Amino acid sequence: MFIVVEGIDGCGKSTVASLLAAEIGKKRPVFHTFEPGHVRDGLYRKLIMENVDNPFVVAALFTVDRAEHVEKMIKPALAQGKWVVCERYADSTLAYQGYGMGLDKDLITRMNEQAIKGLWPDKIFYLDIEPGLALARLRNKEKDALEGQGLEFLQRVREGYEEIARARGYVYVDATLPPEIIVKHILEEVKLL
What distance in Å separates the CA atoms of residue 54 and residue 122, rounded to the nearest whole number?
A: 32
Residue nearest to ligand TMP (CB): 96
Q: Does 146 bind ligand TMP (CB under 6 A)?
A: yes
Segment interacting with ligand TMP, rule: CB under 6 A, options 84-92, 121-129, 158-166, 178-186: 84-92
Side chain identity at 65, as an amino acid letter?
D
Side chain identity at 44, as an amino acid letter?
Y
Segment interacting with ligand TMP, rule: CB under 6 A, options 69-77, 93-101, 119-127, 170-178: 93-101
Residue 146 or 164: the one with the smaller Cβ distance to ligand TMP is: 146
Q: What are phi and psi of 142, to 5 degrees?
A: -70, 125
Which residue, among 83, 73, 80, has the nearest Cα to 116 in the 3D structure? 73
**Which residues on adjacent β-strands are paired with residue 128?**
174
- Can you tell me whether residue 114 is helix, strand or coil? helix
Q: Does 36 bind ligand TMP (CB under 6 A)?
A: yes
Q: Does 125 bind ligand TMP (CB under 6 A)?
A: no
What distance in Å separates the CA atoms of residue 2 and residue 84, rounded to the nearest whole number?
A: 5
84, 93, 98, 156: which one binds ligand TMP (CB under 6 A): 93
Give the binding site for ligand TMP (CB under 6 A). Answer: 9, 35-36, 62, 87-88, 92-93, 96-97, 146-147
